[in-house]
Chains A and B, each alone.
Chain A
């Protein structure tokens, strides 16, 4: 069995897709920016169509818990399907690190090369997620504080993904010891891109070339992605959402969250926000 899958993990709206675009540019080392369709090969690990193709069962005629019994097998099959052209598979993940009903981790250790975890200030996540799902902000505040929060898994599209709350999502991945993990802050990717993206390239064991790194960062610039989406659309956008690449700025929450909403998020996630630098030693928000 090969350890050939890299899990690109995040709570939603934390820079995962942005990184996938960077990665496509870096891997292809192209002289022009790769198109948004080109990130297809790093698509989500929960695609229901792919699951049905490989497992041979319609996931929507199984319960989500039954589907999770097959997910370790599904990823083992994907791992075995890798070929010389694409020896390492990069798979986007929004699931928390959990075990299925048989006590087996959804993401098998033996086929995992590693995981990159993208963490973003939950206050900004909240606002960005409300835009993405065309939902109201208060609902999203409740969602990211909900220990039983799940995504999808209804009748089409993606398999059910257990998210837990924002703080337990990151804890679940950082506290597991089976898969090597490298955590990167969204804010650092924005403010210190060479250092941040470079650290991931090194963690993944990819050939490091500074000029290539700089070009891939330039080709995954947020304004460029917005422009590409405007011109040709982006199939990962939901129908009700106006644009996938919306603002992408740090501290955007100040224009959208009420004092009460900020307090609720901070109070619930205080220790984890402090651990990842979103609250300083004096207990003040850093952004």
Chain B
């Protein structure tokens, strides 16, 4: 039996030895936890891929990104796992940013603009990022018992919808320098499409995929999109400062 099955309104995921999850009609989630599965792991995948599936069923256009408000602007940092979305978001929040959502950020149209829908998720950081950001780690909760990745107690956060102004797509490259490109036209649309959270789920959801086409076009017309390539090895605060200097100027 395949571990993953996706239809328009019915989603099934088997995370082996942890739990089986089923999400239906954007409203109902049922889960079966395997005997001996630890609750933190069951919760982690529920708040990740399964939440993503529910948001797709609700046509909420979830982006693979962490979001915050900084100097009055609504910002989503997008990128693949390991690009540095959460740690750079944490760095911004240490500089007065107001935290919205980690890892999955749904966006919706509202009047003439686009809004970020905050989810009550917590930032997750690896131990080396916790150390780099000088965050006290003694009382932090592990995301899974066997991983050195921790939930951060929430920074000052917003729980209401916020206007989205800027999307920053974080990539890494093997150069020593940072690079910034502001995207436009088809390039902008294509780059945004790649930021959809669990975009391969859409192969089983043709109606949703079709609907997202229009949503993405409108998103592209309302929001600035920048692409940042950072060195594979670099400091979190350097990345934050580069974004402050080059993108949010």
Contact = CB atoms under 8 A, between A and B. Distances in A.
A235 B147 CA distance: 29
A63 B49 CA distance: 17
Nearest to A241: B174
Contact of B198 (A56, A59, A238, A239): A56
Interface in A55-73: 55-61, 63, 66, 69-70, 73
Contacts of A227: none
A73 B2 contact: yes
A240 to B, nearest CB: 7
Given A63-B146, A73-B3, A155-B126, A56 B174 contact: no
B81 interface: yes
A54 B81 CA distance: 14
Interface in B1-22: 2-4, 13, 15-17
Given A56-B198, A57-B15, A61-B147, A70 B232 contact: no
Contact of A238 (B4, B15, B176, B232): B232
Interface stretch (A13-21, A45-53, A195-203, A256-264): A45-53
A245 to B, nearest CB: 14
Contacts of B15: 57
A2 interface: no
Interface string A162-176: 000000000000000
Interface string B193-225: 000001111000000000000000000000000
Interface in B30-82: 44-45, 48-49, 80-82
A269 to B, nearest CB: 31
Nearest to A58: B81
Nearest to A156: B82
A59 B45 CA distance: 12
A237 interface: yes
Given A73-B3, A235-B174, A238-B232, A52 B80 contact: yes
Contacts of B232: 238-239
Most chain A CB within a 10 A radius of its CB, from B48, B49, B81, B144: B81
A56 B4 contact: yes
The majority secondary structure among interface residues of chain B is loop
Given A52-B80, A61-B144, A238-B232, A69 B176 contact: no
B141 to A, nearest CB: 14
A233 B13 CA distance: 40
Contacts of B16: 66, 69-70
Contacts of B236: none
Nearest to B13: A56
B200 A53 contact: yes
Which of under 10, 10 to 19, 20 to 34, or 35 or more describes the interface residues of B? 20 to 34
A61 B4 CA distance: 17
A81 to B, nearest CB: 10
A184 B207 CA distance: 49
Contact of B81 (A60, A66, A238): A60
Nearest to B127: A155
B199 A53 contact: yes
Which of under 10, 10 to 19, 20 to 34, or 35 or more describes the interface residues of A? 20 to 34
Most chain B CB within a 10 A radius of its CB, from A54, A155, A237, A240: A155
Given A57-B15, A57-B45, A233 B174 contact: yes
Nearest to B44: A61
A128 to B, nearest CB: 17
A38 B232 CA distance: 22
Contacts of B144: 61
B174 A239 contact: yes
Contact of B200 (A56, A155, A240): A56
A277 interface: no
B173 interface: yes
A239 B2 CA distance: 38
Contacts of A57: 15, 45, 48-49
Given A61-B147, A233-B174, A238-B174, A52 B3 contact: no
B200 A54 contact: yes
B173 A235 contact: yes
A157 B82 contact: yes
Nearest to A234: B174
B233 A240 contact: yes
Given A53-B199, A155-B82, A239-B175, A58 B233 contact: no
Given A155-B82, A237-B174, 15 more contacts: A48-B82, A54-B200, A58-B81, A60-B82, A61-B44, A61-B147, A61-B149, A63-B146, A63-B147, A70-B16, A156-B81, A238-B174, A239-B175, A239-B231, A240-B233
Interface of B: 2-4, 13, 15-17, 44-45, 48-49, 80-83, 126, 143-144, 146-147, 149, 172-176, 198-201, 231-233
Q: Which 8 A-B residue pairings sit nearest by Cβ, starting from the closest?
A: A156-B82, A239-B232, A239-B174, A58-B81, A49-B80, A53-B200, A56-B4, A237-B174
9 contacts: A48-B81, A52-B80, A52-B81, A56-B4, A57-B45, A57-B49, A60-B82, A61-B45, A233-B174
